[in-house]
Structure 1
Amino acid sequence: MFEIRVICDPADTDRVSDALSQAFTVGPVRQHPTRDGKALRLYVTADHHSNTGPWPDPETAYALAPNIISEIGWTAQTAADKPFGTRLPRDFWLRKAAVLDRIALKDEADGFPGDAAEIATEAAERLMDLDDAAVICDPRHYVRQQYAHWTKHQ
């Protein structure tokens, strides 16, 4: 994520804003006049576009996923099989984040307030850190996108 500042003629602000949104994923554009009042300063938080496609809904993302109990077992066994201090592969972190997201989704649908959503978000953020993913999104949406992509290529 990065910040962009543009100084432009007030008549060009819409054109500049449109160009920025086509080139990057952007937040709201903040406008401030220059000190002389003849131009505008535009500030926008931006990030590179994700090139892996749109955010799938949970049903689409997890359509090919094994049942939750099976995934918990796979995650626990994979972690147990690795010697302490050994780096676990990306697939482990993706599947772990996905199963935690699925548990949180089930709890949310059942109306159970708890910490499942927080734990799922933390696991998703871990995956984003591992991927060095510099995208502006809900971390759990990122997991769903990556999981859907991963299952289609397995």
Structure 2
Amino acid sequence: MFEIRIICDPADTDRVTTALASAFTTGSVRRHPTRDGDRTRLYLTADHHPAPADCPIPEQAYADAPSIGDEIGWTARILATAPCFTELGREFYLRKAALLDRIALLHETDTLNSDAETAEAAALHLLDLDQPGIICAPRHYVRQQYARRTHDHQ
């Protein structure tokens, strides 16, 4: 990850941020006027787009996954027996994020897909748990980590 600072004409800020977003995975853009007030300073964090090999497609990532029903049951059992949420480990959050991603994928053609928002939130939680400050597509990160977990458990 790296930080980019750009000084440009205010009329160019949208064009510049769009070009950067197409070249990199970017965080939010912070805008400040220059001291003279004539131009705009843009600050944003960026990272290289993940390599396609690093992001398995859902069918690859979840090929050996238990059924959605079994994963719901596993998640419910863990939650029922956990003394508190702070003691739930990474395995729980990874499997929960993968489960929510799989559910969202069932409804991905819906224009109002609240399952996708829930899956994104769970993926962001896992990403923050693993690597705070990393910028990448959270659901792709879940698929990558789930595929690695499955490979390591075989």
C-alpha separation in 2, matches of 1:77 and 1:130: 22
C-alpha separation in 2, matches of 1:48 and 1:112: 29
1:39-118 → structure 2 map (5 Å cutoff): 45-47=45-47, 54-109=54-109, 111=110, 113-118=112-117
The Cα of 1:54 is off from its aligned counterpart by 0.9
The Cα of 1:135 is off from its aligned counterpart by 3.4
Q: Note the aligned Cα RMSD (angstroms).
A: 2.9
Cα contact 1:26–1:45 (8 A) shared by 2: no
1:152 corresponds in structure 2 to 151
Q: Is residue 2:135 matched to residue 1:136? A: yes
C-alpha separation in 1, matches of 2:104 and 2:50: 25
Cα contact 1:120–1:140 (8 A) shared by 2: yes
Query: Which amino acid in 2 is paired with 1:102?
Result: R
- For the residue of structure 2 that corresponds to 1:105, the secondary structure is helix
TM-score for the superposition, normalised by structure 1: 0.66
TM-score for the superposition, normalised by structure 2: 0.66
2:40 corresponds in structure 1 to none
Change (3 A) 1:85 1:92: closer
Structure 1 vs Structure 2: percent identity of aligned residues? Answer: 55
Structure 2 unmatched ranges of 5 or more: 7-22, 27-42
The Cα of 1:118 is off from its aligned counterpart by 0.3
Alignment length (residue pairs): 120
Q: Alpha-carbon deviations, 1:16-64, whole Å to 9, x = none?
A: xxxxxxxxx9458xxxxxxxxxxxxxx874338879x611100000001
The Cα of 1:2 is off from its aligned counterpart by 3.4
- For the residue of structure 2 that corresponds to 1:46, the secondary structure is strand
C-alpha separation in 2, matches of 1:86 and 1:133: 17
Structure 1 unmatched ranges of 5 or more: 7-24, 29-42
Cα contact 1:107–1:116 (8 A) shared by 2: yes
